[in-house]
Amino acid sequence: MGLAVCVGCGETKEGAFDVCDGCGLDPARGGTDRMLQARSLWLSERFFSERELVELGRKLSTGEPVAYDTGQLSRLVDELKTQKLPVISQASPGCSIVTWSLLGMLLALAAGLAYLYGTWKH
């Protein structure tokens, strides 16, 4: 995923949309706060080097202001509106509706082919 900095506390983390181990901020929460997500994405290796991210994280953790590029944030908000964000679920693992639907269609197809094969033989 790449290095990123938490916009809440300045802690470094593995990816822009990961939950912060330092303060618990979750930029991917429900996919509703696009500006939070844009700021989280902006403070990542996509836009800054590791050294720059460490410095930005230090500023955030000490309460120093970090200047966000408002034009870039606006573009990121527009980009995020058209992309599906990663779903990070606390639910237990299992098959999704899509998986069950595909399985159902495959079983129906297999049953239909078996029926056609059976009627063709007679």
Q: Over the stretch 48-59, which tens digit does the pLDDT of each residue have?
A: 999 999 999 999
Q: Over the stretch 61-120, which tens digit does the pLDDT of each residue have?
A: 999 999 999 999 999 998 888 876 554 444 444 555 666 677 678 888 888 888 887 776
Q: pTM to 2 decimals?
A: 0.64
Query: Residue 7 and residue 28: Cα distance in Å, rounded?
Result: 13
Query: Residue 94 and residue 60: Cα distance in Å, rounded?
Result: 38
pLDDT confidence of residue 92: 45
pLDDT confidence of residue 38: 92
